[in-house]
C-alpha cells in the first residue's frame, strides 16, 4: 500500500471531521403568519369578529399580586448567569475535540503504515526463503 493512499484517506477523514466540528452555528428563523403577503385566492384570517361575538366573562385571579410579581421576576431573569463563561467552555470543548480527532487520525495513520511495513517484511521473508531453499520433488521419473 502506498503512503500517499494511506495519507489521502486519513486527510479526508480529518478534514470532514474538522469541517463538521468547527462549523459555525446556524441561527433559527422564526416565521409568523403576519409576514406573508396574501395572494388573490386567500381568505383573510378573521379573529376580531369571532372574539367580539363571545360574551366577556369575569376572570378570577389564579394568584395574588405578590405571587404574580415573583413569577414575572423569575421569568425576566436571565437563564444563563455567566454567558461568556459558557461560550468559553464551548470553544474549549471544540478545540479539545479537534485535538483528539487529529491524534486519533495520526494514530490510525501510524497503525496503517506499520501494517504495510509488516506485510512487506513478510513478503520479503517468503521470497528470501523460497530463493535459498528450492523445493525438491520426491517423485521419481
**Residue at 125 is within a domain:** yes
pLDDT at residue 111, as a whole number: 93
**Residue at 118 is within a domain:** yes
Please give the radius of gyration of the chain, using alpha carbons only, rounded to the nearest integer: 36
**Residue at 61 is within a domain:** no
**Residue at 81 is within a domain:** no
**Residue at 113 is within a domain:** yes
Number of domains the chain contains: 1
Position 3 confidence tier, pLDDT thresholds 50, 70, 90: confident
What count of residues does the chain have? 141
Question: What pTM was estimated for this model as a whole?
Answer: 0.35
Q: Whole domain around residue 1: which residue ranges?
A: 1-17+96-132
**Residue at 116 is within a domain:** yes
pLDDT at residue 105, as a whole number: 92
**Residue at 124 is within a domain:** yes
pLDDT at residue 31, as a whole number: 64
Q: How far is CA 90 from the centre of its chain?
A: 13
**Residue at 69 is within a domain:** no
Amino acid at each position: 500500500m502506498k503512503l500517499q493512499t494511506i495519507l489521502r484517506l486519513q486527510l479526508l477523514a480529518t478534514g470532514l471531521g474538522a469541517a463538521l466540528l468547527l462549523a459555525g452555528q446556524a441561527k433559527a428563523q422564526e416565521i409568523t403568519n403576519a409576514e406573508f403577503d396574501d395572494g388573490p385566492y386567500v381568505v383573510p384570517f378573521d379573529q376580531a369578529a369571532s372574539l367580539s361575538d363571545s360574551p366577556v366573562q369575569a376572570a378570577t385571579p389564579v394568584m395574588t399580586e405578590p405571587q404574580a410579581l415573583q413569577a414575572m421576576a423569575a421569568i425576566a431573569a436571565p437563564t444563563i448567569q455567566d454567558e461568556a463563561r459558557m461560550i468559553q467552555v464551548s470553544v474549549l470543548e471544540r478545540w479539545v475535540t479537534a485535538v483528539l480527532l487529529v491524534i486519533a487520525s495520526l494514530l490510525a495513520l501510524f497503525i496503517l503504515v506499520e501494517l504495510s511495513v509488516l506485510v512487506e517484511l513478510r513478503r520479503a521473508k517468503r521470497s528470501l526463503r523460497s530463493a535459498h531453499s528450492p523445493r525438491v520433488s520426491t517423485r521419481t521419473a
